[in-house]
Amino acid sequence: MFCFFQTFIKYIIRSLKLCSCFLGTQYNYLIVDKRGENKNVGFIQLNRPKALNALCDGLMKEMNQALDAFENDAQVGAIIITGNEKSFAAGADIKEIAKQKPFRSVMGETPFSLETESVNGFALGGGCELAMMCDIIYAGEKAQFGQPEILLGTVPGAGGTQRLTRAVGKSLAMEMVLTGDRISAKEAKESGLVSKIFPVEQLVEEALRCGEKIANNSKLVCAMAKEAVNAAFELTLTEGSRFEKRIFHATFATDDRKEGMTAFVEKRKANFKDN
């Protein structure tokens, strides 16, 4: 499953109701839908506009429910998660944390299978950490990333110090974490945090286009490819190369590998069955 996150985008999804029903589940903090020509891209909109989509416990629980529903939907091969016109997620709900509620209760259950993100507007604190849980990040021109926890007398608690350092390097990560300063979309791209930048009005469309490309490939082989890339962060080059080789050989046991190569030889579009 591949996920796109977006923030602060000028894009209206159906109507901005305070609740949404999808697959029999009612949501108070999200609007959930399926998009794309083949309805194979999951779409989740954070919907706490008055709180700038702060990540409260209820929102994160609903996020898990929606993602679980998409994970169990054989038709869905990618997910877009978006915010509203003012913010993607301005961080964790400080009012909730200030009541001595552990940060883990807000972010601890966040699925780490999220994979692609598009961000415009504020992605701060927990919002930035949520973005970095993805595999691909697209940014709108006005996007801002930051880990301002130091200004609240605490530190990032959902992977900010670890993922940010791996993404942008020690020096910039240390500066952001110790000062609470934000970086722009341009700076984020230059540092390797995001892969592409788009005008605000095109961001969701581009995310959906990428999501459809991914969803139209073999979901089985996409999962294998993701596993191999993620292993690069945990293994040495020698170990990683050995792991990649095993994954490569494993694809030859799949029907989709056979279909993909046959389609190439026959000069036609592959019809993957995800097995």
How far is 204 from 115, CA to CA, in rounded Å?
16
129 is catalytic: yes
Judge whether 224 and 126 are in contact, CB under 8 Å: no
Residue type, 88: F
Q: Is 92 among the residues known to form the active site? A: yes
Q: What is the DSSP letter of 55?
A: B
Using only the alpha carbons of the chain, give its radius of gyration: 19
Q: Could you say which of 62, 117, 129, 244 is catalytic?
A: 129
Q: Largest Cα–Cα distance in the chain?
A: 63
DSSP 141: T
What residue has token string 């940014």? 139
Q: Fill in the amino acid letter for 159.
A: G
Q: Which two tokens stand for residue 127?
A: 């919002």
Tell me the pairing of strands 182-184 and 144-146: antiparallel
- The catalytic residue among 54, 89, 90, 92 is 92
Which residues touch 142 (CB under 8 Å, ≥6 apart)? 8, 120, 121, 185, 200
Name the active-site residue from 42, 91, 126, 157: 126
Q: From the candidates 62, 115, 117, 149, give the one annotated as an active-site residue.
A: 149
Which DSSP symbol is given to 137? E
Q: Using the structure block, give the residue that is written with the tokens 């989709």.
A: 256
Active site residues: 92, 126, 129, 149
